[in-house]
């Protein structure tokens, strides 16, 4: 952790033209320095109006904690079109202690149809946001991802989001939680109209690891207590304290127009996290010599300790 030096002044920037903030509410943001893990940070806010009247806040403080473990769920080679060659891969990373969530994306993804949505909501389905609305549609083998997302929640209704550099490293020596089929079936129609009959071909449940604990919007989920994640191959997941191994339905027959988050409507209320959620997010799921459509997981020590070596060791 760093040591105290002096107060640093940072100007705040509105989310609209300053003139537009005279009569309308604006969101003002800035970057606070010194937020390395292990540090404690203090800050105050100061405002002044056109008449020179000042408003000064109290001093606020917080400590930047350090996680010990990261539980990673990876959607791998999900087919976004009608044939192989248009796979997409991405991860949800859950950090203990700090309870951060990251959505991380593989920039080598070749997406055919991008009608997907990115967002999250609380378990009560009344607080949350869309981080990205519906994609551009037909993009025929392009990478649609320009940023990763980091999410923090506090209590039942408070959250914060930041963007960071896009990219991910795929898992090695993982647990394969869900595996596609050689011909990619069932395709999405059966995962929406006939979900109860094809449940095990469209989603899965994942046991949280023993001794891994995570808090989401004030609710605690614990592997030692047998809590689970329900994961849909179409890019959404739900935290669950139930012992059921029947993955919750998170998609209706909505086609390319998905409901917006937050929403307590049927099926969508089961969605907690939606890293890449939509009708074409996994239209087919091929597991063959060309693609390995699957959902994978791995518990990793924080900050790289214990990661697999994927290239030759040239120095000791």
Residues 274 and 146 in one domain: yes
In terms of domains, do 39 and 113 share one? no
- Burial of residue 266 (CB within 10 Å: 0-12, 13-18, 19+) is exposed
Domain-ending residue, one of 63, 85, 105: 63
CB 86 within 8 A of CB 291: no
Asked, for residue 5, whether it belongs to a domain, the answer is no
Confidence band, pLDDT 50/70/90 cuts, at residue 312:
low
Q: Give the per-residue pLDDT at 6.
A: 76
Residue 310 lies in a domain: no
- Residues 158 and 170: beta-carbon distance below 8 Å: no
pTM confidence score:
0.85
73 with 195, same domain: the answer is yes
Residues 105 and 186 in one domain: yes
Same domain, 229 and 176: yes
Number of domains in the chain: 2
Strand pairing partners for 161? Answer: 151
Of the candidates 297, 277, 228, the one whose C-alpha atom is nearest the C-alpha of residue 78 is 277
Predicted confidence at residue 314, as pLDDT, reads: 65
Angstrom distance (rounded) from CA 232 to CA 250: 7
pLDDT band at residue 5, thresholds of 50, 70 and 90? low
Cβ-contact 113, 283 below 8 angstroms:
yes
Average pLDDT over residues 239-255: 94
- The tens digit of pLDDT for each residue in 150-172 reads 999 999 999 999 999 999 999 99
Do 99 and 23 reside in the same domain of the chain? no
- On whether residue 73 sits in a domain, the answer given is yes
* Residue range of the domain that includes 189: 69-302
Quick: pLDDT tens for 12-54: 899 999 889 888 998 888 887 766 776 777 888 888 877 788 8
């Amino acid at each position: 952790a760093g040591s105290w030096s002096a107060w640093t002044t940072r100007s705040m920037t509105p989310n609209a033209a300053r003139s537009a903030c005279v009569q309308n509410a604006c969101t003002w943001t800035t970057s606070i320095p010194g937020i390395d893990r292990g540090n404690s940070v203090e800050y105050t806010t100061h405002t002044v109006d056109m008449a020179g009247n000042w408003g000064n806040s109290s001093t606020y403080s917080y400590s930047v904690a350090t996680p010990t473990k990261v539980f990673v769920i990876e959607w791998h080679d999900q087919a976004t079109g009608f044939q192989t060659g248009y796979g997409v891969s991405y991860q949800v990373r859950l950090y203990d202690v700090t309870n951060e969530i990251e959505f991380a994306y593989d920039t080598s993804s070749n997406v055919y149809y991008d009608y997907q949505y990115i967002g999250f909501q609380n378990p009560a389905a009344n607080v949350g946001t869309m981080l990205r609305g519906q994609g551009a549609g037909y993009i025929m083998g392009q990478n649609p991802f320009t940023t990763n997302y980091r999410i923090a929640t506090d209590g039942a209704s408070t959250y914060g989001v930041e963007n960071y550099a896009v990219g991910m490293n795929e898992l090695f020596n993982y647990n394969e939680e869900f595996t596609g089929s050689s011909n990619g079936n069932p395709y999405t129609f059966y995962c929406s109209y006939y979900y109860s009959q094809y449940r095990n071909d469209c989603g899965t449940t994942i046991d949280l690891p023993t001794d891994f604990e995570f808090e989401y919007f004030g609710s605690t989920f614990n592997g030692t207590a047998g809590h689970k994640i329900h994961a849909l191959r179409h890019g959404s997941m739900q935290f669950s304290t139930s012992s059921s191994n029947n993955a919750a339905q998170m998609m209706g027959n909505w086609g390319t127009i998905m409901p917006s988050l937050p929403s307590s409507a049927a099926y969508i209320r089961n969605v907690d996290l939606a890293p890449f959620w939509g009708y074409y997010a996994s239209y087919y799921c091929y597991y063959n010599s060309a693609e390995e459509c699957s959902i994978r997981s791995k518990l990793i020590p924080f900050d790289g300790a214990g990661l697999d070596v994927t290239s030759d060791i040239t120095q000791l």
